């Protein structure tokens, strides 16, 4: 089964992390993608361009780079990327994460044996040393449990997702105006259109985390953005009024915690 890997990148990202991510989706994979589509979300740094240039030389036509004149946000960049992919199956990847060597092999096996539209997996989180996993983001396996889970939390770890391009295009693709929760929004739209989900019950991606990322998850602005997302789900008839109220209250309570407590809460959530 042919498949594409979709990545978006912008100027704040670390070229060493990007290079590590690329090695994980190409050099170390037991089954390699037929194409890698990289969307440059605005003007990048010289260091990032140098790293991208190195991969262009190594991969040739397999590596397709889409350059955007200005930064439009991850939702818009991913939307364009989906449109540019030429294969029906698309695996998503972030530039600071690491795909484990059999990730694509195991996801392709699921698509070959199950009637599904989206396949995710657990992810392991690390701070600086990728060999030292500090926590796991576990998500339910079967479709019915995934739908219930989505009522309160994102049901698929986006950097682990592989999905059918047609299904994503049929629900309007990523929302181009979204700079946060663009993946959660997409998965809810897919659920509402009866797309079928499955999550592999083992980690297939390692994600960078730490105090810096935890800090970016907290604060009033993030609480407001999350409340706005929940309101959109209510207006889409995915949530009822009680679920909306519950999610907004819990979201505000968690996001406004001090960073130390916020980190502890996210670690506890991972274990649920």
| Secondary structure (H, E, C), 195-210 | CCEEEEEEEEEEEECC
Task: Give the closest residue to 214 by CA, choosing from 186, 154, 271, 254.
Answer: 254
Whole-number Cα distances in Å, 128 to 121, 125, 134: 22, 10, 10
pLDDT of 166 over the 80 cut: yes
> CATH fold of 3-209, please?
Spore Coat Polysaccharide Biosynthesis Protein SpsA; Chain A (3.90.550)
Comparing CA positions, the residue from 266, 137, 153 lying closest to residue 210 is 266
pLDDT score of 270? 56
Q: pLDDT value at position 180?
A: 75
Q: What is the pLDDT of residue 99?
A: 98
pLDDT tens digit sequence for 232-257: 999 999 999 999 999 999 887 877 76
Residue 215: pLDDT over 50: no
- Going from the C-alpha of 159 to that of each of 206, 247, 255, the distances in angstroms are 9, 23, 22
Mean pLDDT of 41-67: 98
Start-end ranges of CATH 3.90.550.10 in the chain?
3-209
The whole-angstrom separation of Cα 190 and Cα 205 is: 22
- In this predicted structure, the answer to whether residue 21 has a pLDDT above a threshold of 70 is yes
In 3D space, the residue among 206, 207, 38, 201 whose CA is nearest the CA of residue 107 turns out to be 201
Percent of the chain clearing pLDDT 90 (strictly above): 81
Given a contact cutoff of 8 angstroms between Cβ atoms, the answer to whether 25 and 31 are in contact is no
162-164 and 118-126 strand pairing: antiparallel
pLDDT of residue 251: 81
Does pTM surpass 0.85?
Answer: yes
Q: What was the pLDDT predicted at 226?
A: 87
Q: Kindly state the average pLDDT of the residues 111-124.
A: 98
Of 125, 49, 54, whose CA–CA distance to 94 is shortest?
125
C-alpha 141/C-alpha 201 separation (Å) is 6
Half-sphere exposure of 249 (CA within 13 A, CB side): 6
Please check the confidence at residue 115 and state whether its pLDDT lies above 50: yes
What is the residue whose two structure tokens read 């506890």?
Answer: 268
Q: Which two tokens stand for residue 211?
A: 């105090």
CB neighbours of residue 97 within 10 Å: 25
172: left (phi over 0), alpha (psi -120 to 50) or beta: left
């Amino acid at each position: 089964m042919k498949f594409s890997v979709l990545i978006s990148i912008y100027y704040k990202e670390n070229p060493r992390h990007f290079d590590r991510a690329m090695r994980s989706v190409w050099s170390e994979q037991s089954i390699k993608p037929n194409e890698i589509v990289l969307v440059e979300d605005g003007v990048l740094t010289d260091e990032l361009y140098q790293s991208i240039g190195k991969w262009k030389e190594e991969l040739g036509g397999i590596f397709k780079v889409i350059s955007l004149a200005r930064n439009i946000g991850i939702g818009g960049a991913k939307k364009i990327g989906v449109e540019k992919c030429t294969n029906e199956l698309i695996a998503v990847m972030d530039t600071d994460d690491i795909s484990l060597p059999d990730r694509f092999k195991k996801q392709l096996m699921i698509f070959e044996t199950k009637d599904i539209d989206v396949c995710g997996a657990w992810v392991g989180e690390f701070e600086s040393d990728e060999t030292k996993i500090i926590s796991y983001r576990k998500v339910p396996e079967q479709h019915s449990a995934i739908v219930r889970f989505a009522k309160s939390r994102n049901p698929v770890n986006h950097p682990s997702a592989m999905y059918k391009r047609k299904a994503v295009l049929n629900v309007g693709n990523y929302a181009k105006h979204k700079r946060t929760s663009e993946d959660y929004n997409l998965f809810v739209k897919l659920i509402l259109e009866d797309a079928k989900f499955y999550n592999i019950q083992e980690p297939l991606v390692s994600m960078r985390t730490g105090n810096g990322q935890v800090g970016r998850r907290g604060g009033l602005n993030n609480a407001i953005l999350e409340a706005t997302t929940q309101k959109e789900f209510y207006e889409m008839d995915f949530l009822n009024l009680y679920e909306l109220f519950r999610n907004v209250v819990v979201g505000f309570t968690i996001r406004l915690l001090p960073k130390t407590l916020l980190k502890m809460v996210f670690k506890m959530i991972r274990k649920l």
